[in-house]
Structure 1
Amino acid sequence: MDMAPAGIPLAQAGEDRDGLEMDVLQLPLGPVLPFWPAGLVLRCSLQGDVVVDAEAAVIDNGGYGTPEQAKRPGPMPVSAAVRCDNALALLALAGADDAAARARHARDTLLQGEQDAAQDAVERLYRTVRKSRLLRWSLRSVLPLTSADLERHGLPSRCLGDAHDRLLWSLDVIRAETRNEEPVEPIDGGVVPWAIVPHLVTGLEVASVRLAVASLDLVPFPAVQETRHV
Protein backbone atom coordinates (compact mmCIF):
# COMPACT_ATOMS: atom_id res chain seq x y z
CA MET A 1 0.00 0.00 0.00
CA ASP A 2 1.30 3.44 -0.91
CA MET A 3 1.95 5.22 2.42
CA ALA A 4 2.20 8.61 0.73
CA PRO A 5 -0.47 8.89 -1.97
CA ALA A 6 0.04 11.98 -4.12
CA GLY A 7 3.05 12.77 -1.95
CA ILE A 8 0.93 13.22 1.20
CA PRO A 9 2.14 10.95 4.04
CA LEU A 10 -0.48 8.96 5.90
CA ALA A 11 -0.62 8.92 9.69
CA GLN A 12 1.26 6.15 11.50
CA ALA A 13 0.31 4.60 14.84
CA GLY A 14 2.09 5.47 18.07
CA GLU A 15 1.49 5.63 21.83
CA ASP A 16 0.45 8.94 23.34
CA ARG A 17 1.46 10.21 26.78
CA ASP A 18 -1.33 8.16 28.40
CA GLY A 19 -0.16 4.93 26.80
CA LEU A 20 -3.05 4.85 24.33
CA GLU A 21 -2.41 4.26 20.66
CA MET A 22 -3.00 7.29 18.44
CA ASP A 23 -2.17 8.23 14.89
CA VAL A 24 1.14 10.04 14.43
CA LEU A 25 1.28 12.49 11.53
CA GLN A 26 4.53 13.93 10.19
CA LEU A 27 4.38 17.67 9.49
CA PRO A 28 7.39 19.50 8.03
CA LEU A 29 7.63 23.27 8.55
CA GLY A 30 10.04 25.22 6.33
CA PRO A 31 12.48 25.85 4.82
CA VAL A 32 10.37 28.28 2.76
CA LEU A 33 7.38 29.53 4.72
CA PRO A 34 5.99 33.05 5.26
CA PHE A 35 7.19 34.60 8.51
CA TRP A 36 9.46 31.65 9.23
CA PRO A 37 13.25 31.66 9.79
CA ALA A 38 14.76 31.26 6.32
CA GLY A 39 16.47 27.92 5.85
CA LEU A 40 15.08 26.29 9.00
CA VAL A 41 13.33 22.94 8.53
CA LEU A 42 11.35 21.69 11.52
CA ARG A 43 9.97 18.18 11.14
CA CYS A 44 7.19 17.69 13.68
CA SER A 45 5.50 14.47 14.74
CA LEU A 46 1.90 15.16 15.74
CA GLN A 47 -0.58 13.21 17.81
CA GLY A 48 -3.82 15.05 17.40
CA ASP A 49 -2.82 18.71 17.52
CA VAL A 50 0.15 18.21 19.89
CA VAL A 51 3.80 18.05 18.84
CA VAL A 52 5.20 14.89 20.44
CA ASP A 53 8.59 14.99 18.74
CA ALA A 54 10.53 17.28 16.43
CA GLU A 55 13.78 17.46 14.52
CA ALA A 56 15.49 20.54 13.10
CA ALA A 57 17.78 21.01 10.14
CA VAL A 58 19.14 24.11 8.47
CA ILE A 59 19.75 24.38 4.74
CA ASP A 60 23.45 25.12 4.07
CA ASN A 61 24.03 26.20 7.64
CA GLY A 62 27.70 25.29 7.94
CA GLY A 63 27.18 24.47 11.62
CA TYR A 64 25.52 27.77 12.40
CA GLY A 65 22.90 27.75 15.13
CA THR A 66 24.26 24.65 16.85
CA PRO A 67 24.96 24.57 20.60
CA GLU A 68 28.70 24.57 19.82
CA GLN A 69 28.37 27.75 17.77
CA ALA A 70 26.34 29.43 20.48
CA LYS A 71 29.17 28.85 22.98
CA ARG A 72 31.72 30.80 20.95
CA PRO A 73 32.96 33.84 22.88
CA GLY A 74 31.81 37.33 22.08
CA PRO A 75 28.37 38.77 21.34
CA MET A 76 26.83 38.45 17.90
CA PRO A 77 25.63 41.85 16.69
CA VAL A 78 21.97 41.99 15.75
CA SER A 79 20.81 45.17 14.08
CA ALA A 80 17.61 46.98 15.02
CA ALA A 81 16.36 46.30 11.48
CA VAL A 82 16.76 42.54 11.97
CA ARG A 83 14.92 42.73 15.29
CA CYS A 84 12.15 44.71 13.58
CA ASP A 85 11.90 42.03 10.92
CA ASN A 86 11.60 39.34 13.58
CA ALA A 87 8.96 41.38 15.42
CA LEU A 88 7.11 41.80 12.13
CA ALA A 89 6.93 38.02 11.72
CA LEU A 90 5.52 37.50 15.21
CA LEU A 91 2.99 40.31 14.85
CA ALA A 92 1.82 39.08 11.45
CA LEU A 93 1.38 35.52 12.72
CA ALA A 94 -0.59 36.86 15.69
CA GLY A 95 -2.97 38.61 13.29
CA ALA A 96 -1.94 42.10 14.43
CA ASP A 97 -1.96 43.57 10.93
CA ASP A 98 -1.68 47.22 11.97
CA ALA A 99 1.26 46.56 14.27
CA ALA A 100 2.90 44.37 11.62
CA ALA A 101 2.59 47.20 9.09
CA ARG A 102 4.23 49.56 11.57
CA ALA A 103 7.05 47.06 12.14
CA ARG A 104 7.58 46.79 8.38
CA HIS A 105 7.74 50.58 8.05
CA ALA A 106 10.13 50.85 11.00
CA ARG A 107 12.41 48.20 9.50
CA ASP A 108 12.48 49.92 6.12
CA THR A 109 13.32 53.33 7.59
CA LEU A 110 16.11 51.76 9.63
CA LEU A 111 17.54 50.10 6.53
CA GLN A 112 17.37 53.40 4.65
CA GLY A 113 19.33 55.14 7.41
CA GLU A 114 16.69 57.81 8.02
CA GLN A 115 17.38 58.39 11.70
CA ASP A 116 14.55 60.81 12.52
CA ALA A 117 11.99 58.84 10.54
CA ALA A 118 13.23 55.60 12.09
CA GLN A 119 12.90 56.96 15.63
CA ASP A 120 9.36 58.10 14.91
CA ALA A 121 8.39 54.79 13.28
CA VAL A 122 9.86 52.73 16.11
CA GLU A 123 8.12 54.88 18.71
CA ARG A 124 4.76 54.40 16.98
CA LEU A 125 5.36 50.65 16.81
CA TYR A 126 6.38 50.55 20.47
CA ARG A 127 3.25 52.38 21.62
CA THR A 128 0.95 50.33 19.40
CA VAL A 129 2.19 47.03 20.80
CA ARG A 130 2.27 48.26 24.40
CA LYS A 131 -1.35 49.43 24.22
CA SER A 132 -2.79 46.36 22.49
CA ARG A 133 -4.75 44.23 24.93
CA LEU A 134 -5.70 41.82 22.15
CA LEU A 135 -2.05 41.24 21.29
CA ARG A 136 -1.23 40.69 24.94
CA TRP A 137 -4.04 38.15 25.19
CA SER A 138 -2.94 36.40 21.97
CA LEU A 139 0.69 35.95 22.99
CA ARG A 140 0.37 35.35 26.71
CA SER A 141 1.28 31.77 27.68
CA VAL A 142 2.86 31.04 24.29
CA LEU A 143 6.06 29.12 25.07
CA PRO A 144 6.55 30.35 28.66
CA LEU A 145 10.14 29.81 29.78
CA THR A 146 11.36 29.95 33.37
CA SER A 147 14.87 30.61 34.66
CA ALA A 148 15.26 26.85 35.06
CA ASP A 149 14.30 26.36 31.40
CA LEU A 150 16.90 28.89 30.29
CA GLU A 151 19.61 27.18 32.30
CA ARG A 152 18.63 23.71 31.09
CA HIS A 153 18.64 24.67 27.41
CA GLY A 154 21.47 27.20 27.52
CA LEU A 155 19.26 30.09 26.44
CA PRO A 156 19.99 33.82 26.87
CA SER A 157 18.16 35.80 29.53
CA ARG A 158 16.05 37.63 26.93
CA CYS A 159 14.06 34.41 26.42
CA LEU A 160 12.61 34.56 29.93
CA GLY A 161 8.82 34.73 30.05
CA ASP A 162 6.32 34.13 27.26
CA ALA A 163 6.04 35.33 23.67
CA HIS A 164 4.60 38.69 24.71
CA ASP A 165 7.41 39.30 27.20
CA ARG A 166 10.02 38.51 24.55
CA LEU A 167 8.34 40.82 22.04
CA LEU A 168 8.36 43.71 24.51
CA TRP A 169 12.02 43.07 25.32
CA SER A 170 12.90 43.19 21.63
CA LEU A 171 10.99 46.44 21.11
CA ASP A 172 12.69 47.96 24.16
CA VAL A 173 16.06 47.16 22.62
CA ILE A 174 15.08 48.52 19.19
CA ARG A 175 13.77 51.71 20.77
CA ALA A 176 16.92 52.18 22.84
CA GLU A 177 19.18 51.61 19.84
CA THR A 178 17.40 54.20 17.70
CA ARG A 179 17.71 56.69 20.56
CA ASN A 180 21.34 55.79 21.29
CA GLU A 181 20.30 54.85 24.82
CA GLU A 182 21.00 51.87 27.02
CA PRO A 183 18.16 49.30 26.95
CA VAL A 184 16.02 48.84 30.04
CA GLU A 185 17.49 45.37 30.47
CA PRO A 186 21.09 44.56 29.50
CA ILE A 187 21.76 42.53 26.36
CA ASP A 188 23.73 39.41 27.27
CA GLY A 189 24.79 38.79 23.67
CA GLY A 190 23.62 35.18 23.68
CA VAL A 191 21.82 33.57 20.78
CA VAL A 192 19.22 30.82 20.66
CA PRO A 193 20.84 27.73 19.11
CA TRP A 194 18.61 26.58 16.28
CA ALA A 195 19.26 22.98 17.34
CA ILE A 196 17.39 23.68 20.60
CA VAL A 197 14.15 24.63 18.82
CA PRO A 198 12.79 21.03 18.62
CA HIS A 199 13.11 20.65 22.39
CA LEU A 200 11.23 23.90 22.94
CA VAL A 201 8.29 23.12 20.65
CA THR A 202 7.77 19.53 21.80
CA GLY A 203 4.57 19.42 23.82
CA LEU A 204 3.08 22.51 22.19
CA GLU A 205 -0.12 22.58 20.19
CA VAL A 206 0.71 22.81 16.51
CA ALA A 207 -1.26 26.07 16.22
CA SER A 208 1.21 27.82 18.53
CA VAL A 209 4.45 26.40 17.09
CA ARG A 210 5.01 29.19 14.57
CA LEU A 211 4.26 31.84 17.18
CA ALA A 212 6.69 30.16 19.57
CA VAL A 213 9.48 30.02 16.99
CA ALA A 214 8.90 33.62 15.91
CA SER A 215 9.05 34.79 19.54
CA LEU A 216 12.58 33.42 19.96
CA ASP A 217 14.02 36.24 17.82
CA LEU A 218 16.35 33.79 16.07
CA VAL A 219 19.47 35.34 14.59
CA PRO A 220 19.74 34.62 10.85
CA PHE A 221 22.89 32.80 9.86
CA PRO A 222 25.13 34.33 7.18
CA ALA A 223 23.66 32.38 4.25
CA VAL A 224 20.25 33.98 4.82
CA GLN A 225 21.35 37.26 6.39
CA GLU A 226 19.76 39.24 3.56
CA THR A 227 16.38 37.51 3.82
CA ARG A 228 13.57 39.70 5.09
CA HIS A 229 9.78 39.66 5.23
CA VAL A 230 7.93 41.76 2.69
Structure 2
Amino acid sequence: MGQHSHHDHDEHERHEMHGGHDIHGGDHGHHGHAMGVVDGLPMADRADDRDGLRLDRLHVPLGPALADWPAGLVLRLALQGDVVQEATVERPAVLPSPQPPFWDEPFLLAGAGRRIRQGDAARRLCAAHLDSLGRFFAVAGWGDMTSRTRHARDRALAGATAAELSAAVRPVIRRAERSRTLRWLTSGLGLLPADHARHRGVTGPALAADGDAHGRMLVWLDAVGRSAAAVDRSETLEQGEAVGPRGSVPGAVTPSRALLDVLPGLIEGAEFACARIIVASLDPDLDEFEYAPVAGMAHG
Protein backbone atom coordinates (compact mmCIF):
# COMPACT_ATOMS: atom_id res chain seq x y z
CA MET A 1 0.00 0.00 0.00
CA GLY A 2 1.46 3.36 -1.00
CA GLN A 3 2.00 6.40 1.15
CA HIS A 4 -1.00 8.20 -0.33
CA SER A 5 -3.38 5.33 0.44
CA HIS A 6 -2.02 5.11 4.01
CA HIS A 7 -2.80 8.80 4.40
CA ASP A 8 -6.30 8.36 3.00
CA HIS A 9 -6.93 5.43 5.36
CA ASP A 10 -5.79 7.44 8.39
CA GLU A 11 -8.01 10.39 7.43
CA HIS A 12 -11.01 8.08 6.95
CA GLU A 13 -10.32 6.44 10.31
CA ARG A 14 -10.05 9.76 12.13
CA HIS A 15 -13.33 10.98 10.66
CA GLU A 16 -15.01 7.65 11.47
CA MET A 17 -13.89 7.78 15.09
CA HIS A 18 -15.06 11.34 15.62
CA GLY A 19 -18.26 11.72 13.68
CA GLY A 20 -16.67 13.55 10.77
CA HIS A 21 -15.11 16.27 12.93
CA ASP A 22 -11.46 17.23 12.59
CA ILE A 23 -9.86 15.89 15.75
CA HIS A 24 -6.84 18.11 15.15
CA GLY A 25 -8.93 21.25 15.57
CA GLY A 26 -9.13 23.18 18.82
CA ASP A 27 -6.78 23.37 21.77
CA HIS A 28 -6.17 19.87 23.05
CA GLY A 29 -3.82 19.30 25.96
CA HIS A 30 -2.63 15.68 25.88
CA HIS A 31 -0.98 15.66 22.44
CA GLY A 32 -4.29 16.45 20.84
CA HIS A 33 -6.76 14.22 22.65
CA ALA A 34 -10.24 15.05 21.51
CA MET A 35 -12.86 16.17 23.97
CA GLY A 36 -15.78 14.44 22.24
CA VAL A 37 -15.45 11.28 24.30
CA VAL A 38 -17.28 12.91 27.20
CA ASP A 39 -20.10 14.71 25.39
CA GLY A 40 -22.91 15.83 27.66
CA LEU A 41 -20.91 15.91 30.90
CA PRO A 42 -20.38 19.22 32.75
CA MET A 43 -17.17 21.10 32.13
CA ALA A 44 -15.56 24.12 33.75
CA ASP A 45 -15.73 26.93 31.22
CA ARG A 46 -12.84 29.12 32.24
CA ALA A 47 -9.17 28.99 31.31
CA ASP A 48 -6.87 26.33 32.71
CA ASP A 49 -4.81 27.16 35.78
CA ARG A 50 -1.75 26.21 33.72
CA ASP A 51 -2.23 29.63 32.12
CA GLY A 52 -1.86 31.30 35.50
CA LEU A 53 -5.56 31.92 36.13
CA ARG A 54 -7.37 30.91 39.29
CA LEU A 55 -10.11 28.35 38.74
CA ASP A 56 -12.93 27.06 40.87
CA ARG A 57 -13.11 23.36 41.42
CA LEU A 58 -15.89 21.57 39.62
CA HIS A 59 -17.04 18.31 41.20
CA VAL A 60 -18.21 15.76 38.65
CA PRO A 61 -19.60 12.29 39.36
CA LEU A 62 -19.17 9.64 36.66
CA GLY A 63 -21.51 6.64 36.81
CA PRO A 64 -23.15 4.46 37.81
CA ALA A 65 -25.53 4.66 34.82
CA LEU A 66 -23.34 5.79 31.94
CA ALA A 67 -23.09 4.26 28.48
CA ASP A 68 -20.02 2.09 27.92
CA TRP A 69 -19.07 2.34 31.60
CA PRO A 70 -18.35 -0.46 34.10
CA ALA A 71 -21.75 -1.32 35.60
CA GLY A 72 -22.16 0.03 39.11
CA LEU A 73 -18.96 2.06 39.22
CA VAL A 74 -19.15 5.59 40.65
CA LEU A 75 -16.11 7.82 40.22
CA ARG A 76 -16.04 11.28 41.77
CA LEU A 77 -13.73 13.82 40.16
CA ALA A 78 -12.62 17.27 41.23
CA LEU A 79 -11.67 19.33 38.16
CA GLN A 80 -9.81 22.55 37.64
CA GLY A 81 -10.39 23.54 34.07
CA ASP A 82 -10.13 20.33 32.08
CA VAL A 83 -7.65 18.69 34.46
CA VAL A 84 -8.57 16.08 37.06
CA GLN A 85 -7.12 17.30 40.37
CA GLU A 86 -8.58 14.54 42.52
CA ALA A 87 -10.34 11.24 41.88
CA THR A 88 -12.06 8.93 44.34
CA VAL A 89 -13.85 5.65 43.81
CA GLU A 90 -17.13 5.24 45.63
CA ARG A 91 -17.07 1.74 47.00
CA PRO A 92 -20.02 -0.25 45.70
CA ALA A 93 -22.69 -1.35 48.14
CA VAL A 94 -23.08 -5.03 47.34
CA LEU A 95 -25.06 -7.98 48.58
CA PRO A 96 -22.98 -11.16 48.84
CA SER A 97 -23.88 -13.77 46.25
CA PRO A 98 -22.75 -17.39 45.87
CA GLN A 99 -23.03 -17.04 42.09
CA PRO A 100 -19.58 -16.59 40.51
CA PRO A 101 -19.12 -13.49 38.34
CA PHE A 102 -19.94 -14.47 34.76
CA TRP A 103 -16.55 -13.64 33.25
CA ASP A 104 -14.58 -15.29 36.08
CA GLU A 105 -16.81 -18.34 36.49
CA PRO A 106 -14.77 -21.08 34.74
CA PHE A 107 -11.55 -19.91 36.39
CA LEU A 108 -13.05 -19.77 39.87
CA LEU A 109 -14.61 -23.20 39.44
CA ALA A 110 -11.33 -24.65 38.18
CA GLY A 111 -9.52 -23.10 41.13
CA ALA A 112 -12.03 -24.77 43.45
CA GLY A 113 -11.38 -28.20 41.92
CA ARG A 114 -14.14 -28.44 39.31
CA ARG A 115 -13.20 -30.01 35.97
CA ILE A 116 -13.27 -27.24 33.36
CA ARG A 117 -12.31 -27.72 29.71
CA GLN A 118 -9.48 -25.49 28.54
CA GLY A 119 -11.62 -24.59 25.54
CA ASP A 120 -14.51 -23.40 27.71
CA ALA A 121 -12.17 -21.21 29.75
CA ALA A 122 -10.57 -19.86 26.57
CA ARG A 123 -14.00 -19.05 25.12
CA ARG A 124 -15.02 -17.10 28.23
CA LEU A 125 -11.66 -15.28 28.29
CA CYS A 126 -11.94 -14.37 24.61
CA ALA A 127 -15.47 -13.06 25.02
CA ALA A 128 -14.55 -11.11 28.16
CA HIS A 129 -11.69 -9.31 26.43
CA LEU A 130 -13.85 -8.60 23.39
CA ASP A 131 -16.46 -7.14 25.74
CA SER A 132 -13.82 -4.87 27.29
CA LEU A 133 -12.47 -3.90 23.88
CA GLY A 134 -15.98 -2.98 22.76
CA ARG A 135 -16.22 -0.44 25.59
CA PHE A 136 -12.71 0.83 24.88
CA PHE A 137 -13.46 1.45 21.19
CA ALA A 138 -16.83 3.01 22.05
CA VAL A 139 -15.30 5.50 24.48
CA ALA A 140 -12.61 6.34 21.90
CA GLY A 141 -15.39 7.11 19.43
CA TRP A 142 -14.76 4.24 17.01
CA GLY A 143 -18.32 3.07 16.33
CA ASP A 144 -17.58 0.67 13.49
CA MET A 145 -15.00 -1.24 15.50
CA THR A 146 -17.29 -1.26 18.51
CA SER A 147 -19.94 -3.06 16.45
CA ARG A 148 -17.46 -5.51 14.92
CA THR A 149 -15.96 -6.34 18.30
CA ARG A 150 -19.31 -6.93 19.96
CA HIS A 151 -20.40 -9.12 17.07
CA ALA A 152 -17.26 -11.24 17.59
CA ARG A 153 -18.00 -11.40 21.33
CA ASP A 154 -21.49 -12.68 20.61
CA ARG A 155 -20.07 -15.28 18.21
CA ALA A 156 -17.74 -16.48 20.94
CA LEU A 157 -20.55 -16.83 23.47
CA ALA A 158 -22.75 -18.56 20.88
CA GLY A 159 -20.27 -21.41 20.45
CA ALA A 160 -18.29 -20.55 17.31
CA THR A 161 -15.50 -23.01 16.51
CA ALA A 162 -11.87 -22.02 16.81
CA ALA A 163 -11.63 -21.56 13.04
CA GLU A 164 -14.80 -19.46 12.89
CA LEU A 165 -13.89 -17.35 15.88
CA SER A 166 -10.31 -16.80 14.73
CA ALA A 167 -11.62 -15.62 11.36
CA ALA A 168 -13.97 -13.20 13.13
CA VAL A 169 -11.37 -11.67 15.45
CA ARG A 170 -8.40 -11.54 13.06
CA PRO A 171 -9.51 -8.39 11.20
CA VAL A 172 -10.46 -6.69 14.48
CA ILE A 173 -7.02 -7.40 15.95
CA ARG A 174 -5.17 -6.34 12.80
CA ARG A 175 -7.10 -3.10 12.39
CA ALA A 176 -6.77 -2.03 16.05
CA GLU A 177 -3.07 -2.87 16.19
CA ARG A 178 -2.37 -0.85 13.05
CA SER A 179 -4.54 2.16 13.88
CA ARG A 180 -2.33 5.21 14.19
CA THR A 181 -5.33 7.31 15.18
CA LEU A 182 -6.17 5.02 18.09
CA ARG A 183 -2.54 5.00 19.20
CA TRP A 184 -2.47 8.80 19.03
CA LEU A 185 -5.62 9.05 21.14
CA THR A 186 -4.67 6.54 23.83
CA SER A 187 -0.89 6.37 24.17
CA GLY A 188 0.56 7.91 27.31
CA LEU A 189 -2.74 7.70 29.21
CA GLY A 190 -2.95 5.99 32.58
CA LEU A 191 0.67 4.92 32.87
CA LEU A 192 0.93 1.89 35.16
CA PRO A 193 4.47 0.46 35.39
CA ALA A 194 4.62 -3.24 36.19
CA ASP A 195 6.55 -2.70 39.44
CA HIS A 196 3.86 -0.37 40.79
CA ALA A 197 1.08 -2.65 39.54
CA ARG A 198 2.62 -5.66 41.25
CA HIS A 199 3.09 -3.71 44.48
CA ARG A 200 -0.61 -2.78 44.47
CA GLY A 201 -1.75 -6.35 43.86
CA VAL A 202 -2.65 -5.91 40.19
CA THR A 203 -2.43 -9.07 38.10
CA GLY A 204 -3.53 -10.04 34.61
CA PRO A 205 -3.45 -7.78 31.53
CA ALA A 206 -2.87 -4.52 33.40
CA LEU A 207 0.28 -5.99 34.93
CA ALA A 208 1.46 -7.63 31.72
CA ALA A 209 1.04 -4.39 29.75
CA ASP A 210 3.58 -2.54 31.92
CA GLY A 211 2.44 0.78 30.46
CA ASP A 212 -0.42 2.88 29.22
CA ALA A 213 -4.00 2.52 27.98
CA HIS A 214 -2.84 1.64 24.47
CA GLY A 215 -0.54 -1.05 25.83
CA ARG A 216 -3.35 -2.60 27.87
CA MET A 217 -5.49 -2.72 24.72
CA LEU A 218 -2.67 -4.52 22.88
CA VAL A 219 -2.49 -7.14 25.65
CA TRP A 220 -6.24 -7.72 25.29
CA LEU A 221 -5.90 -8.08 21.52
CA ASP A 222 -3.11 -10.63 21.88
CA ALA A 223 -5.13 -12.62 24.41
CA VAL A 224 -8.18 -12.54 22.12
CA GLY A 225 -6.19 -14.06 19.26
CA ARG A 226 -4.66 -16.80 21.39
CA SER A 227 -7.87 -17.70 23.23
CA ALA A 228 -9.96 -17.72 20.04
CA ALA A 229 -7.62 -20.37 18.64
CA ALA A 230 -8.02 -22.50 21.79
CA VAL A 231 -11.80 -22.73 22.19
CA ASP A 232 -11.97 -26.30 20.82
CA ARG A 233 -9.46 -27.73 23.30
CA SER A 234 -10.85 -30.53 25.45
CA GLU A 235 -8.02 -30.89 27.99
CA THR A 236 -8.74 -30.02 31.62
CA LEU A 237 -7.78 -26.57 32.86
CA GLU A 238 -5.28 -26.99 35.67
CA GLN A 239 -5.86 -25.11 38.92
CA GLY A 240 -2.63 -23.18 38.46
CA GLU A 241 -3.86 -21.94 35.08
CA ALA A 242 -7.01 -20.40 36.54
CA VAL A 243 -6.29 -16.77 35.66
CA GLY A 244 -9.38 -14.78 34.78
CA PRO A 245 -9.70 -11.94 32.29
CA ARG A 246 -8.73 -9.30 34.88
CA GLY A 247 -6.19 -11.34 36.83
CA SER A 248 -5.62 -14.18 39.25
CA VAL A 249 -8.70 -15.71 40.84
CA PRO A 250 -8.78 -16.26 43.68
CA GLY A 251 -5.98 -14.00 44.84
CA ALA A 252 -5.02 -11.91 47.83
CA VAL A 253 -7.51 -9.34 46.52
CA THR A 254 -10.02 -9.68 43.71
CA PRO A 255 -8.57 -8.47 40.40
CA SER A 256 -11.07 -5.64 40.06
CA ARG A 257 -10.48 -4.39 43.60
CA ALA A 258 -6.79 -4.02 42.78
CA LEU A 259 -7.70 -2.19 39.55
CA LEU A 260 -9.96 0.22 41.45
CA ASP A 261 -7.22 0.80 44.02
CA VAL A 262 -4.81 2.08 41.36
CA LEU A 263 -7.42 3.90 39.24
CA PRO A 264 -7.46 7.28 41.06
CA GLY A 265 -3.69 7.63 40.72
CA LEU A 266 -3.91 6.99 36.98
CA ILE A 267 -6.62 9.61 36.46
CA GLU A 268 -5.33 12.42 38.66
CA GLY A 269 -3.45 14.93 36.53
CA ALA A 270 -5.05 13.71 33.31
CA GLU A 271 -7.45 15.71 31.19
CA PHE A 272 -11.12 15.09 31.86
CA ALA A 273 -11.64 13.91 28.28
CA CYS A 274 -9.06 11.17 28.89
CA ALA A 275 -10.54 9.85 32.15
CA ARG A 276 -13.05 7.57 30.47
CA ILE A 277 -10.39 6.09 28.19
CA ILE A 278 -8.27 5.28 31.24
CA VAL A 279 -11.22 3.64 33.01
CA ALA A 280 -12.09 1.66 29.87
CA SER A 281 -8.49 0.43 29.58
CA LEU A 282 -8.82 -1.20 33.03
CA ASP A 283 -12.51 -2.16 32.77
CA PRO A 284 -13.03 -3.36 36.35
CA ASP A 285 -15.88 -5.83 36.89
CA LEU A 286 -17.86 -4.88 39.98
CA ASP A 287 -19.63 -8.25 39.94
CA GLU A 288 -16.42 -9.57 41.52
CA PHE A 289 -17.25 -7.62 44.69
CA GLU A 290 -20.49 -9.54 45.21
CA TYR A 291 -19.05 -13.03 45.01
CA ALA A 292 -19.00 -14.88 48.31
CA PRO A 293 -18.27 -18.60 47.71
CA VAL A 294 -20.06 -21.10 49.88
CA ALA A 295 -18.68 -24.36 51.21
CA GLY A 296 -18.90 -27.19 48.71
CA MET A 297 -19.18 -24.99 45.63
CA ALA A 298 -16.75 -27.20 43.73
CA HIS A 299 -19.24 -30.03 43.90
CA GLY A 300 -22.36 -28.06 43.13
1:135 and 2:182 aligned: yes
1:103 is aligned with what amino acid?
T
Measured against aligned partners, the alpha-carbon deviations of 1:22-72 in whole angstroms (never above 9, x if no partner) come to 3011100000111110000001111111111122124433589xxxxxxxx
Which residue pairs with 2:194 in the alignment?
147
Instruction: Calculate percent identity across the aligned residue pairs.
Output: 37
Name the counterpart of 2:160.
Answer: 114
Residue equivalent to 1:218: 284
5+ long unaligned stretches in structure 2:
1-41, 98-109, 113-120, 232-240, 249-254, 292-300
1:47 aligns with 80
User: Do the aligned partners of 2:191 and 2:266 also contact (CA within 8 Å) in 1?
Assistant: no
CA contact (8 A) 1:53 1:198 kept: yes
2:144 to 87, 94, 98: 98
**Contact map agreement 1:44 1:54 (CA 8 A) in 2:** yes
Contact map agreement 2:256 2:288 (CA 8 A) in 1: no
Residues 1:25 and 2:58 aligned together: yes
Contact 2:191 2:212 in 1 (8 A): yes
The residue identity in structure 2 corresponding to 1:104 is R
Larger radius of gyration: 2
CA deviations 1:169-227 (Å, max 9, x no partner) are 0111111111119xxxx9693424224322321111111000001001323415899xx
Scaled by the length of structure 2, the TM-score of the pair is 0.58
What is the RMSD of the two structures over their aligned residues, measured on CA atoms? 3.6
Q: TM-score, normalised by structure 1?
A: 0.74
Report the Cα distance in structure 2 between the residues aligned to 1:59 and 1:91, rounded to whole angstroms: 25
Structure 1 pair 19/94, CA: closer, same or farther in 2 (3 Å)?
closer
How many residues are paired up? 202
Aligned to 1:69: none
Deviation, structure 1 residue 100:
1.6
Q: CA deviation at 1:153?
A: 3.1
Amino acid at match of 1:136: R
